[in-house]
Structure 1
Amino acid sequence: MGRFTMENDRLAVTIDDLGAELVSVYDKKYKREIIWQGDPTWWKRQAPILFPNVGKYYGGEYLYQGRHYVQDQHGFARDYELERMEESGNSVTHRFVSNEETRKGYPFDFELLITHRLTGAEVEIQWQIKNTGDHEMYFTIGGHPGFNVPVLPGTAYSDYALKFADDQNELKYIHIDMATGTGLPDKVYTMPLTEHKYPLSKALFDLDALVFDGGQIQKAGIEMPDGTDYVTVLCDDFPNFGIWAAPGAPFVCLEPWCGRCDNFGYEGELKDKPGINHLKEEEVFKKVYTIAIGG
């Protein structure tokens, strides 16, 4: 198991072969680490890929063709060492293919390619999934990057703010049932924005993640105390988005998703799950999001 680092004049970016996880984005200009460094006191991970499922299934299992399959929260891709296929001075691609072990809980054949590409002050993350099996495949997939907050000496968590697209004045979100880890869509909350921003507070995550459905978020970032941009996630055409931090932890996760956890009480077939992605035989799914470093 190893790590791959690429860098330019602005950033040094490191990806671990374990799960093709982004483990460091070091900003040379300001001499600071952007990515949460995985302190297990709060959360041991840093920016895992969530595949073949984002979040949890209700009861920890799903129904496929009349049979129940057990699957852990956020799937298994993050826990496998991935093959490094291609690497250059500014990009690296990892490959993960289905195997006997993955088929026990996920009876589909696939090839997953994860590419990280460095350009200027941006890191682009691309996912490509191919259905290599002989029947239709169902999945959700998401990013889960965590960012250090606060990042400036002498500042507090509450000195920072979430920042969204310029045309947004409010957002709608739901919470997750903390006992089952599944969505509660019947109660929708409003996040009013002031100049497209919302102040950060640790109390914001007392009820776990904020889940935004309906493709509301195509851009979400964190603003510095002085109003400048710290980091921004750009994610065109992503139907779901999560914002999360562990209670009391000095980080914020900005999570672009294609699909999400089950709704509370969902016990239907996987193919009928709201927001599930479908791939026919030999069909390919591609999605890209970008982490842009400000300043």
Structure 2
Amino acid sequence: MRQILENEFLRVSIEDHGAELVSVYDKENEREELWQAKPPYWNRHAPVLFPNVGKHHNDTYRLQEQEFHTSQHGFARDREFVCISRTDSALTHKLISDENTRSYFPFDFELHITHRLEERKLTVEWNVVNNSGDTMYFTIGGHPGFNVPILQGSKQTDYYLLFKEGPALKYKLVYGDSGTADASKEYTLHVEEAEGYYRCPITDHMFDRDALIFDDTQIEWVGIGYPDGRPYVTMECEGFTNFGIWTMPGGPYICLEPWMGRCDDYGFTGDISEKPDIISLKKGETFHKGYCLTFHR
């Protein structure tokens, strides 16, 4: 079932399946801002990544000498959530663990996802509750994709990535086709200062090796800029340890991905508790995090 939040500026649609944001229609500009899962490209819109962002090495993680097999980006995006509350400006979905989830994520949990609309801002909030008797280990992230190009007659390489940080950002790339990160090499994204932001152009081959992976809380504000440099969509993601920027090469969209934790480094075989940026949540505790999107005029 599809849930709707609407005001005079935006009409936002969220599916119960995956509690996934599937549409952000800009009523003033009369256009769809969110990627619409069109073939032959990426078939999703803005999935939640839980209980793992990206891949574990060989799709396997270890916990106290046991092995568990996983799939990329976890299972939450493919599960049915229940809408448990709604107002005119916000709604909350809930997913709880069951026998199936415990077979590859051996914890009892609740995942609450809230979407909150205020004028031209959409806030996405996650609450993860550990109902297990032991410490729970996980990562969680967002993966919204935005239509780029958005203006008629423009092309993707006319647009910019916008940052508040500069003049250089460090990133890693994916190791081959493993879906895990090559931690042995680091690259530099040079950005120029312009009109109150740091920016760099989106180039034809920027994503030939999958996502750009930023660690160490480098990115807490990011956006996509129009060809004239003005912001099109911006994201506030304070305190996120990791961040990804991605599109399938040739895809007419850009994904801005705030992550708490990320894929394994290639070859990592340690206990999941030893993984960098892993979230450890004690029994009975709740983890809270969120990010905010602004869709500019």
Please report the TM-score for the alignment, with normalisation by the length of structure 1.
Answer: 0.98
The residue type equivalent to 1:158 in the other structure is T
1:242 aligned partner: 244
By how many angstroms is 1:40 displaced? Answer: 3.2
2:267 aligned partner: 265
2:180 aligned partner: 182
By how many angstroms is 1:179 displaced? Answer: 2.1
Matched position secondary structure for 1:138? strand
Please report the TM-score for the alignment, with normalisation by the length of structure 2.
Answer: 0.97
For the 8 Å contact 1:178–1:208, the answer to whether it is kept is no
- In structure 1, what is the Cα distance between the partners aligned to 2:290 and 2:186? 28
Per-residue CA deviation, residues 42-79 of structure 1 (Å, 9 max, x unaligned), is 10001000000000000111011111110000000000
1:27 aligned partner: 26
Matched position secondary structure for 1:101? helix
- In structure 2, what is the Cα distance between the partners aligned to 1:6 and 1:144? 20
The residue type equivalent to 1:191 in the other structure is L
Q: Percent identity?
A: 47
- In structure 1, what is the Cα distance between the partners aligned to 2:258 and 2:204? 21
By how many angstroms is 1:178 displaced? Answer: 3.0
The residue type equivalent to 1:32 in the other structure is R
- In structure 1, what is the Cα distance between the partners aligned to 2:167 and 2:177? 32
1:54 aligned partner: 53
2:139 aligned partner: 140
The residue type equivalent to 2:169 in the other structure is L
Q: Counterparts in 2 of 1:1-295, with a 5 A limit?
A: 2-165=1-164, 167-195=165-193, 196-295=198-297
- In structure 2, what is the Cα distance between the partners aligned to 1:65 and 1:254? 34
Alignment: residue pair count: 293
- In structure 1, what is the Cα distance between the partners aligned to 2:204 and 2:278? 31
By how many angstroms is 1:288 displaced? Answer: 1.1
By how many angstroms is 1:168 displaced? Answer: 2.1
The residue type equivalent to 2:175 in the other structure is D
- In structure 2, what is the Cα distance between the partners aligned to 1:182 and 1:4? 34
The residue type equivalent to 2:163 in the other structure is F
For the 8 Å contact 2:166–2:192, the answer to whether it is kept is no
Matched position secondary structure for 2:71? coil
Q: Which runs of 5+ in 1 are unaligned?
A: none
Matched position secondary structure for 1:271? helix
- In structure 1, what is the Cα distance between the partners aligned to 2:174 and 2:206? 13
For the 8 Å contact 2:174–2:210, the answer to whether it is kept is yes
Alignment RMSD: 0.7
For the 8 Å contact 2:113–2:125, the answer to whether it is kept is yes
The residue type equivalent to 1:249 in the other structure is G
- In structure 2, what is the Cα distance between the partners aligned to 1:7 and 1:22? 13
Q: Which runs of 5+ in 2 are unaligned?
A: none
- In structure 1, what is the Cα distance between the partners aligned to 2:271 and 2:25? 43
